[in-house]
């Protein structure tokens, strides 16, 4: 469920419409977006906005109960994984799946948000929680 405001109108619309267990993917430039899946392309120039900047804004504004990450991030981008683990609250469930599975999951997300980043496995699916 949405907590506060997001300025980007497309991202704000997706955030407003999220219900419990709905999912959004935040990805880098290289992440393929399945046909029919809404795409919000935030890329301004290479690296802008960064994956982390977009994720930080999302985490400030949306209650997240579960995240899905590619298993491959552990070996191929441990720095990004370490940052992600510090940003997520302790009650967020973290599920590692293969990168291929993560891409297949994008058929069911509400939207894929593309950042300007182009680093290995800078992709995450966030599942919306619910306020109690």
C-alpha closest to that of 26 among 106, 110, 112, 89: 112
**CB contact at 8 A, 64 and 91:** no
Catalytic residues: 20
- Report the alpha-carbon distance of residue 49 to residue 43 in Å, rounded: 6
DSSP-based three-state secondary structure for 105: helix
């Amino acid at each position: 469920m949405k907590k506060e405001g997001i300025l980007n109108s497309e991202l704000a619309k997706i955030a407003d419409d999220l219900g419990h267990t709905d999912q959004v993917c935040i990805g880098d430039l290289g992440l393929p977006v399945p046909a029919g899946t809404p795409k919000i392309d935030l890329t301004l120039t290479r690296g802008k906005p960064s994956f982390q900047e977009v994720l930080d804004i999302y985490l400030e504004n949306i209650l997240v109960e579960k995240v899905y990450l590619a298993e491959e991030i552990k070996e191929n981008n441990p720095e990004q994984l370490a940052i992600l683990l510090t940003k997520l609250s302790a009650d967020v469930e973290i599920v590692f799946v293969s990168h291929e599975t993560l891409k297949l999951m994008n058929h069911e997300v509400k939207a894929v948000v593309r950042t300007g980043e182009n680093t290995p496995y800078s992709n995450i699916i966030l599942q919306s929680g619910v306020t109690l």
